[in-house]
Amino acid sequence: MSVRDRGGVRSLDRAGVEGDDPSSVGASTKANRRWPGRGGRERLAPGAVPAPAGARRQRLSRRIIVPGLFIAPVVVYAVVFFAYPLVFGFMMSFEKFGFSQLVHGSGPFFGIGNYRAALSDPVTITAIRNTVIFTVASVSLQVGIGLAVAVLLNRPFLLSNLLRRLVLIPWLIPLLATGTVFTLLFGDQDGFINMLLQHLGLISSPIAWLIDARPAIIAIIIVNIWAGLPFNVIVLYSGLQDIDGIFYEAAVIDGAGPWQRFRKITLPMLRPVMLIVVMLGIIATVKVFDLVIVMTNGGPNNTTQLLSTWAYTQAFTNFNFGEGAAIGNILLVVSAIIAVFYLRSLRKEA
């Protein structure tokens, strides 16, 4: 079928649709622009010019029923496994929902009692602060270091191939297992990291990494960066590969130095990819749970709780499901705010 034939079919098809079904004009013209040939052979049959009822029914089935059948499973899935639990959790957060309410699946109405209890608890405030610090620090450093490594990989040198393969390793290990390994490395007084830092003369006495609140948060951030680096590097590296070398050549001819080329070519052209990486980084980091549970379990004295672990503690350790659900919803709001804020600042920068 030649291109010209397709063009003819398209205009015919569009005219027919616009004539008999004004409501679908937008969708169908858009569709036709994408696929000029859609409609196939039957459209060319004699008598197709004023679309007969049969063809119209066929088109209806093509346009609504068939896509519907293909998409329905995922829509049902999203409703059953996301929308319904979220609504259920939302209801739960307004109920006095303890262990004994599990039998009925609902508890007495409690108004905003759970939210008031949660927000008046200093641990929740600490958890909100920790979540924000943890997310902002992890994502910025992860993307920054990831970009540096990606730029390094983008240059040919002896070990670059090996590095490109090995960079995936942290990704293979379940986050909980990663946390376990780093618990050993950060250790007590004689952990490997303390020994290394002392050996290098960076610290004079061992740091109680996982015992004091501040070092513990720093340790957890470091581990999270380590675990998240592979994804950032791969995606940013792919982004770098997509930048046409011709821009750099032109810049070299114009006498731009390496830093200028990075600032004026690499960064702007990488912006779409950066946006994606930052967004996905936030989404993944806000939810982090495993690392804290295994490394500090929220301690000492609840000072390293994140919203995720605090919601868990309230729901599954203290069996206060109502307040747990309320904290879970607060987490949802916080992650939305961080995402919006981050994307805004990135957009402004450019």
Partner 1 sequence: MVQVAQPQASSYRRPGRVRSRLVRRVPREILLNAVGILVIGTLIFPVYWALCVALQSDPDALIKAPSLFPVHLVLSNFQTALNTEGGNILTSLIISVAVVALGLLVGVPAAYALRRFRVRYTGAVIGSLLVTQMVPSIALSIAFYSLFKDAHLLNSYVGLILADSTYAVPLMVLLLRAFLESLPGELMESARVDGCSELRCLISVVVPVAIPGIVTASLFGFLGAWGDFLFGLTLNSGGKVQPVTLGLFKFVGTYSTSWGPLMATVILAAIPAAIVLSVGQRWIRGGLRAGALKG
For residue 276, give the amino acid letter.
Answer: I
Radius of gyration for the alpha carbons in the chain, expressed in angstroms and rounded: 28
User: Which residues fall within 8 angstroms of residue 171, CB to CB, at 6 or more apart?
Assistant: 227, 230, 231
Handedness of CA 247, 249, 253, 259 (dihedral sign): positive
Task: Provide, rounded to whole angstroms, the least separation between the CB of residue 204 and partner 1.
Answer: 19
Closer residue to partner 1, CB minimum distance, 50 or 148: 148
Task: Provide, rounded to whole angstroms, the least separation between the CB of residue 300 and partner 1.
Answer: 16
Q: Specify the DSSP class assigned to residue 288.
A: -
Task: Provide, rounded to whole angstroms, the least separation between the CB of residue 148 and partner 1.
Answer: 9
Closer residue to partner 1, CB minimum distance, 50 or 160: 160
Task: Provide, rounded to whole angstroms, the least separation between the CB of residue 332 and partner 1.
Answer: 6
Closer residue to partner 1, CB minimum distance, 143 or 311: 311
Phi, psi of 109 (to 5 degrees): -60, 135
Task: Provide, rounded to whole angstroms, the least separation between the CB of residue 229 and partner 1.
Answer: 7
For residue 321, give the amino acid letter.
Answer: F
Tokens of 112: 């905003």
Residue 195 to residues 186, 190, 198: CA-CA distances in angstroms? 10, 6, 5
Closer residue to partner 1, CB minimum distance, 217 or 227: 227
Closer residue to partner 1, CB minimum distance, 86 or 112: 86
Task: Provide, rounded to whole angstroms, the least separation between the CB of residue 317 and partner 1.
Answer: 11
Closer residue to partner 1, CB minimum distance, 166 or 203: 166
Closer residue to partner 1, CB minimum distance, 50 or 88: 88
Task: Provide, rounded to whole angstroms, the least separation between the CB of residue 194 and partner 1.
Answer: 11
Task: Provide, rounded to whole angstroms, the least separation between the CB of residue 12 and partner 1.
Answer: 16
**Whole-angstrom distance, CA of residue 130 vs CA of residue 308:** 11
Closer residue to partner 1, CB minimum distance, 50 or 62: 62
Buried b (16+ CB within 10 A) or exposed e, 42-65: ebeeeebeebeeebeeebeeebee
Q: Specify the DSSP class assigned to residue 109.
A: B
Cis peptide upstream of residue 122 (ω within 30 degrees of 0): no
**Whole-angstrom distance, CA of residue 57 vs CA of residue 55:** 5
Q: Specify the DSSP class assigned to residue 41.
A: G
Residue 269 to residues 96, 236, 244, 245, 275: CA-CA distances in angstroms? 52, 11, 10, 12, 11
**Whole-angstrom distance, CA of residue 115 vs CA of residue 330:** 9
